């Protein structure tokens, strides 16, 4: 079993805390009942790329559970699990990017956004609604309206926030071969 470094454990705590703060206090109300426009998924996608799929999954799970708990309606586990799956999927897709080498570029941003879009489609079009049916016996029309709106709004905010964070992070990294004599 691979052990987490102290850096990764701290990142999980900070990532979950930031996910909570953004999800609880920067949430934008939407016209769909019980759904907010969320900016925290951009942060989660970025952190999942940097720290990996397991760290991303834990950040999403812990952060979303605290958001639900803080609202007082109880933890809505189907959506908490979907947030964890999103972090996992984007973290797995990180292998397509070369951010650590300082090489993100247009192709990297396109790959990042394809990965995050696929993650949102899977989570909000599949995982959350299916688990809502299985766990809570929720009505289908409500679930898919919530899932569709969440998927679209989360993909847009992730494309903006996540892309900006990835660009900024990649700019701080030394580009491969930039320190060699020519």
State pLDDT tens for residues 156-167: 999 999 999 999
Q: Is there a domain that residue 49 lies in? A: yes
Place of tokens 């958001």: 67
Q: Is there a domain that residue 51 lies in? A: yes
Q: Is there a domain that residue 178 lies in? A: no
Contact 22, 40 (CB under 8 A): yes
Q: What backbone phi and psi angles, to 5 degrees, belong to 29?
A: -60, 145
Domain around 150:
6-95+102-172
Segment (H or E) for 14? helix 6-25
Q: Is there a domain that residue 73 lies in? A: yes
pTM for this entry: 0.92
Q: Is the pLDDT of residue 92 over 80?
A: yes
- The number of domains in the chain is 1
User: CA end-to-end span of the chain, whole Å?
Assistant: 42
- The 10 Å Cβ neighbour count of residue 167 is 15
**Cα–Cα distance, 8 to 12 (Å, whole number):** 6
* 43-47, 99-103, 106-110, 165-169: range with lowest mean pLDDT: 99-103
Segment (H or E) for 80? helix 77-93
CATH code assigned at 118: 1.10.1760.20
Q: Is the pLDDT of residue 179 over 60?
A: no
**Cα–Cα distance, 36 to 91 (Å, whole number):** 24
Q: Is the pLDDT of residue 73 over 80?
A: yes
Q: Is there a domain that residue 48 lies in? A: yes
Average pLDDT, the chain: 92
The one-character DSSP state at 3 is P
Q: Is there a domain that residue 177 lies in? A: no
Q: Is there a domain that residue 1 lies in? A: no
């Amino acid at each position: 079993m691979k052990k987490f470094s102290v850096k990764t454990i701290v990142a999980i705590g900070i990532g979950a805390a930031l996910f909570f703060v953004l999800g609880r206090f920067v949430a934008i109300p939407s016209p769909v009942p019980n759904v907010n426009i969320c900016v925290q998924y951009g942060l989660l996608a970025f952190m999942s790329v940097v720290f990996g799929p397991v760290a991303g999954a834990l950040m999403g799970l812990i952060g979303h559970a605290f958001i639900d708990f803080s609202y007082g309606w109880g933890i809505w586990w189907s959506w908490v699990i979907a947030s964890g799956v999103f972090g996992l999927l984007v973290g797995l897709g990180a292998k397509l990017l070369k951010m650590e080498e300082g090489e993100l570029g247009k192709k990297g941003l396109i790959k990042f956004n394809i990965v995050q879009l696929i993650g949102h489609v899977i989570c909000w079009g599949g995982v959350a609604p299916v688990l809502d049916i299985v766990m809570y016996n929720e009505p289908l029309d409500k679930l898919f309206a919530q899932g569709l709106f969440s998927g679209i709004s989360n993909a847009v905010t992730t494309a903006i926030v996540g892309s900006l964070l990835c660009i900024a992070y990649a700019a701080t990294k030394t580009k491969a071969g930039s320190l060699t004599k020519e």
